[in-house]
């Protein structure tokens, strides 16, 4: 760049400032913008409250979907001709035995994890997990 053109582009390069000075300027500018727009008063607090209540109502319905997808616990008779039922555990959930149809199996309704949800109503036990 020649010496003649140097003065023409000086306005494009901002003067060097340290970070504290920039942050202080930004903070003051933000506070000034809040003050010019009317400040943070009772109307803003009311809007936050109404927005939070509206979002909380939606969250109430969205968080219920976890229970609609809960897999029930099974119990199976793993030896043919026996009256002994084997209950599912965390280590052995018995889903494969239930889906294979080789054994007599049913939903163990005595367990709190077994609820009458969409999985039970639509018979989604043996469908692939997404």
Question: What is the per-residue pLDDT across 56-90, written as a single tens digit (0 to 9) for each?
Answer: 878 877 887 777 778 888 899 888 777 888 888 88
The confidence score (pLDDT) of residue 11 equals 53
What single string gives the DSSP state of each residue in 93-117? --HHHHHH-SSEEEE-TTSTT---S
Residue 49 — pLDDT band, cuts 50, 70, 90?
A: very high
DSSP code at position 69:
T
Per-residue pLDDT for 3 more than 70?
no
All structural domains of the chain with their residue ranges: 12-63, 72-121
Mean model confidence pLDDT for the chain: 78
> Is the model's pTM score more than 0.85?
no
Element (H, E) at 50: helix 42-62
């Amino acid at each position: 760049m020649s010496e003649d053109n140097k003065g023409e582009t000086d306005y494009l390069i901002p003067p060097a400032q340290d970070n504290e000075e920039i942050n202080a300027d930004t903070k003051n500018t933000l506070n000034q913008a809040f003050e010019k727009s009317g400040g943070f008063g009772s109307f803003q607090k009311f809007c936050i409250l109404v927005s939070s209540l509206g979002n909380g109502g939606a969250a109430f319905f969205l968080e219920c979907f976890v229970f609609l997808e809960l897999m029930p616990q099974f119990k199976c008779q793993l030896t043919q001709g026996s009256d002994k039922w084997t209950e599912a555990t965390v280590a052995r959930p018995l889903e494969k035995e239930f889906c294979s149809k080789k054994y007599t199996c049913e939903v163990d309704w005595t367990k709190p994890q077994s609820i009458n949800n969409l999985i039970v109503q639509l018979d989604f036990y043996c469908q692939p997990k997404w």
